[in-house]
């Protein structure tokens, strides 16, 4: 292994924090590791973890961009870093970036929206050299995944995070050791989108001169609860589907409305948009109102995988609070028991924390019986066993339950 250069991890969100812990675990003995967080990083975990906070917990130095310009033998790794990097300002550096698209397509901004707007069937992540252009450097490696027809913006972004973390863990060691091949980007399939390509301050769904599929893709492309939901006819909406009905009314007209849906005409077939009922859904989970959970989940299955601005889904809320009726109902309705939040934590981890604090293991056992995986690691590279405390009164009981399922 090479030594003892400097690795600078620049970025934000869970992809940067996951990369930080992986690199720290693998390379701290042979490299000096420093961290360059986003200017807006408060140092507190929100719906995504804070790079500044976790760098501080590891005792690593926080640096500015100007600090690293003069560093010799520098490996600079951008993981969702927010500023444009200018290679000519660095004294002695190898510069790398992860970009959320399959380059050369979708350089630039809003890669969780434009592929949906354009009806793409696949997307992925790319690790590439940073050069003078915007996302134009030679490609080192990529990972690809399919996009469902009804995928929405937040869902696509979560796929980028998950697959990007896999790509970093698979590749970053060779990159740091300068042991890899890179190929120039092809001129074919090139596309670029600027910051002005979408005006998020004035989002409007265009019904005129749009096909039914175009309308559906617009609604899905702008559905990201932590930033915005489409606003149609006085309601935030969360979900859309096509129908076979053809209305004679002008595009964008309401053809039918009830408590949960709005039916709208387009240039072709009508669409049904789902009024956002996520708050009601979480209230039903918290109050263990089984009938409402079933009713709302049946009306809009997307609710089962959605999370609030703290990264908590209905299933995580039920698991953490020991709400057994809600937990059983959500599982029955089809909630994904192994779906992680942006911090990489699973419902089973939260159910285990509840068991540690209360001695009630019913939620844990329910999830394990349904196939929950106790060996999933969060972005701190810890699984459930890492959090068990031998000093806690229920340690032995919980360990036995986990060992039977493992």
* Residue-wise burial string across 275-290, b where 16 or more C-beta atoms lie within 10 A, e elsewhere: bbbbebbbebbeebbb
Q: Start-end ranges of CATH 1.25.40.20 in the chain? A: 278-405
Phi-psi region of 45 (alpha: psi -120 to 50; beta: other; left: phi over 0): beta
How would you write the pLDDT of the chain (406 residues) with one tens digit per residue? 455 799 999 999 999 999 999 999 999 999 999 999 999 999 999 889 999 999 999 999 999 999 999 999 999 999 999 999 999 999 999 999 999 999 999 999 999 999 999 999 999 999 999 999 999 999 999 999 999 999 999 999 999 999 999 999 999 999 999 999 999 999 999 999 999 999 999 999 999 878 999 999 999 999 999 999 999 999 999 999 999 999 989 999 999 999 999 999 999 999 999 999 999 999 999 999 999 999 999 999 999 999 998 889 999 999 999 999 999 999 999 999 999 998 899 999 999 999 988 999 999 999 999 999 999 999 999 988 888 876 677 778 888 888 877 7
d(CA 178, CA 200): 40
* Domain 278-405, CATH number (from 3.10.290.10, 1.10.3720.10, 1.25.40.20, 2.60.120.10): 1.25.40.20
d(CA 153, CA 156): 5
Domain covering 6-193, topology: Rossmann fold (3.40.50)
Q: Start-end ranges of CATH 3.40.50.12230 in the chain? A: 6-193
Nearest of 284, 310, 309 to residue 297 by alpha carbon:
284
Q: Under 8 Å CB-to-CB from 10, ≥6 apart: which residues?
A: 16, 35, 36, 37, 65, 76, 77, 78, 79, 81
Strand partners, 33: 7
Nearest of 274, 213, 269 to residue 245 by alpha carbon:
269
């Amino acid at each position: 292994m090479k030594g003892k250069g400097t690795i600078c991890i620049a970025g934000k969100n869970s992809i940067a924090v996951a990369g930080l812990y992986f690199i720290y675990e693998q390379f701290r003995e042979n490299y000096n590791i420093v961290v360059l967080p986003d200017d807006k990083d408060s140092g507190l975990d929100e719906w995504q973890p804070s790079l500044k906070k976790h760098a501080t917990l590891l005792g690593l130095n926080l640096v500015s961009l100007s600090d690293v310009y003069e560093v010799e033998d520098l490996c600079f790794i951008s993981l969702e870093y927010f500023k444009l990097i200018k290679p000519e300002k660095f004294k002695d550096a190898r510069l790398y970036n992860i970009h959320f698209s399959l380059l050369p397509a979708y350089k630039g901004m809003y890669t969780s929206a434009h592929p949906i707007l354009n009806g793409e069937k696949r997307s992925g992540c790319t690790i590439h050299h940073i050069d003078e252009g915007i996302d134009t450097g030679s490609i080192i490696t990529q990972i690809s995944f399919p996009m469902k027809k009804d995928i929405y913006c937040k869902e696509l972004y979560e796929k980028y995070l998950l697959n990007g973390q896999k790509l970093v863990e698979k590749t970053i060691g060779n990159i740091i050791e300068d042991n890899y091949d890179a190929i120039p980007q092809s001129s074919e399939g090139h596309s670029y989108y600027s910051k002005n390509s979408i005006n998020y301050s004035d989002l409007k769904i265009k019904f005129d001169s749009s096909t039914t599929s175009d309308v559906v893709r617009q609604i899905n492309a702008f559905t990201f609860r932590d930033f915005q939901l489409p606003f149609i006819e006085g309601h935030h909406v969360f979900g859309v589907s096509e129908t076979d009905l053809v209305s004679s009314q002008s595009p964008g007209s309401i053809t039918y409305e009830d408590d949960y849906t709005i039916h709208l005409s387009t240039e072709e077939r009508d669409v049904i948009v789902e009024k956002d009922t996520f708050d009601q859904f979480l209230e039903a989970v918290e109050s263990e109102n089984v009938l409402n959970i079933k009713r709302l989940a049946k009306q809009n299955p997307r609710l089962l995988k959605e999370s609030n601005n703290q990264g908590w889904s209905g299933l995580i809320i039920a698991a953490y609070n020991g709400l057994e009726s809600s937990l059983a109902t959500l599982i029955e309705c089809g909630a994904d028991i192994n779906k992680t939040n942006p911090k990489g934590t699973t419902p089973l981890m939260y159910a285990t924390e509840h068991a540690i604090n209360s001695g009630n293991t019913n939620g844990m056992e329910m999830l394990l019986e349904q196939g929950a995986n106790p060996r999933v690691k969060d972005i701190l590279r810890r699984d459930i066993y890492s959090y068990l405390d031998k000093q806690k009164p229920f340690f032995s009981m919980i360990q036995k339950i986990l060992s039977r399922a493992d």
